[in-house]
Amino acid sequence: MSAPEPRARTVVELQQAVEAELARLAPVVDALGEVFAAAGHELALVGGPVRDAMLGRPHHDLDFATSARPDDTEKLLSAWGDATWDMGRDFGTIGCRKGEWTVEVTTYRSEAYDPDSRKPTVDFGDSLAGDLGRRDFTVNAMAVRVPGRVVEDPFGGVVDLAQGVLRTPGTPEASFSDDPLRMLRAARFAAQLGFEVAPEVVAAMTDMAARIEIISAERVRDELVKLVCAPWPRLGLTLLVETGLASYVLPELPALALERDEHHRHKDVYEHTLTVLEQAIDLEPRLGTDGPDFVSRFAALMHDVGKPKTRRFVDDGTVTFHHHDVVGAKITRKRMQALRFSKEETEAVSSLVELHLRFHGYGSGEWTDSAVRRYVRDAGDQLARLHVLTRADCTTRNRRKADALRRAYDDLEARIAVLQEQEELDSIRPDLDGNQIMELLGIGPGREVGEAYRFLLELRLDHGPMSTEDATAALRAWWAERSA
């Protein structure tokens, strides 16, 4: 997946696009604008909805800015909408649902970070221009006043949108000092929109990268998820590495750019990783899910992070990375825990990293059915993602080798499908349950039941389903030998 080549748009085309989208939004934006105007307040559609309207991307979640204070906003929305909420009241935001639309209205404001604080201080403002001036990028600093539908663009966002460039309304140094998370957002928007980041913005990101350390792990995590799930994550990830930001938020990524040794040769692990990520994205339709799949993408990004710690030089000029799968799983788990990912996501990604090399013992089909069953058992509910990761991990330019690997994995998947149909591999378990084990052996709950269960499970994996009589005989024989 190469970097996008955005089609050049004229300012007139952008204006026509926003007019068409505003016509679609008219039942909501004009009606709400009239409600606020009747109460003596200003209201304007702002941010992402305006930007995406110009790009021809429809929205059902609408953001507004207003001169009204939160208490007044809540009264107006309560009377107009179907339901309201005020979780963002401390930041001046009141939410509302109106039919199929989700609306958030925020009082004009300005934010700034104390140099040592993770949380912004909020001051309410009195003008739309002042509110737009505190936003992250010019393409997000446009507004449409309603109900009159007057476009406000004090910082040239329309031109930057037409040219596909990310700039800040003021100096990038001031913007990133106010909210360092905006540096990550620059990378995220580059990945989402396929835009170029202006040189002065890149320079400020490089000079101020260390300031990202004051931002909470949760906010960093959320931006990384959006970046990884964007259409062109390579653009954003490359920007993070080149500016040094990745060294603070995802240091395992730049560490993959291993220093070359003149006597030893091996694949560029950093470039290989980005290619694997792009190939995993291309394979996402295999998962049958709607939209991007973060777990499979992040597993592709992290699958080789164990290589720097396991690299060893061999006298014959080769390089080894023994056990980098196991080491990488531990590194991945630690990083995801530090970023406050959920336990479920952390275990899913770490498991995929640990299993990503397992297929390479398959050869041309030498695995027994027992080995195939264990592959399915160990993958568990991540089997479909493991299929994607394993296929994406082939980046060789040798067409014959690539075709051989693809055919081998086709064969493995076919064998898994046959065994799943015959043996219900997705819910593989011993042929006797815990109650039957205790009754046959005359024992109560305890360690011995667990040992017997594991013995029967291994027997099931080795030989497939057994009759109750055969499983009973095998269990009695094992118990007798164990007792002796």
- What is the domain-level CATH number for residue 15? 3.30.460.10
- C-alpha neighbours within 13 Å on the C-beta side of residue 299: 33
Segment among 88-97, 106-115, 256-265, 322-331 with least mean pLDDT = 256-265
Q: Which residue has the higher pLDDT, 21 or 203?
A: 203
Query: Does the structure show a pLDDT above 80 at 315?
Result: no
What pLDDT is attached to residue 427? Answer: 60
Query: Does the structure show a pLDDT above 90 at 3?
Result: no
∠ CA 438-428-289, nearest 5°, is 140
Q: Enter the tokens of residue 84.
A: 């309201």
Residue 393 sits in a domain whose CATH number is 1.10.3210
Name the nearest CA neighbour of 345 among 379, 295, 412: 295
Query: Does the structure show a pLDDT above 70 at 301?
Result: yes
Name the nearest CA neighbour of 45 among 57, 20, 28: 28
pLDDT band with cut points at 50, 70 and 90 for residue 436: confident
pLDDT 10s digits, 51-108:
988 888 877 889 999 999 999 999 999 999 999 999 889 889 999 999 999 999 999 9
Please return the burial class of 445, using the count of CB atoms within 10 Å of its CB with bins 0-12, 13-18 and 19+. Answer: exposed
Q: Are 271 and 234 in contact (CB under 8 A)?
A: no
Say whether both 286 and 390 belong to one domain: yes
Number of domains in the chain: 4
What pLDDT is attached to residue 453? Answer: 81
What 3-state DSSP class applies to 94?
A: strand
Say whether both 394 and 451 belong to one domain: no
CA 50 – CA 115 distance, rounded (Å): 32
pLDDT band with cut points at 50, 70 and 90 for residue 114: low
Segment among 161-165, 265-269, 353-357, 457-461 with least mean pLDDT = 265-269
What pLDDT is attached to residue 10? Answer: 81
Question: Residues of the chain with pLDDT > 70: what percent?
Answer: 92
DSSP tag of 261: B
Query: Does the structure show a pLDDT above 60 at 268?
Result: yes
CA 28 – CA 49 distance, rounded (Å): 13
pLDDT band with cut points at 50, 70 and 90 for residue 262: very low
Q: Which residue has the higher pLDDT, 113 or 175?
A: 175
Distances (CA, A) of 266 to 110, 262, 272, 303, 320: 51, 11, 11, 17, 9
Say whether both 409 and 445 belong to one domain: no
Name the nearest CA neighbour of 471 among 423, 426, 424, 437: 437
Say whether both 264 and 242 belong to one domain: no
For 377, the domain range is 257-427
Residue 210 sits in a domain whose CATH number is 1.10.110.30
In this structure, is the dihedral angle defined by the CA atoms of residues 386, 388, 391 and 394, taken in order, positive or negative?
A: negative
Distances (CA, A) of 408 to 254, 367, 404, 411: 32, 11, 6, 5
Say whether both 9 and 61 belong to one domain: yes
Say whether both 408 and 444 belong to one domain: no
Query: Does the structure show a pLDDT above 80 at 8?
Result: no
What pLDDT is attached to residue 382? Answer: 95
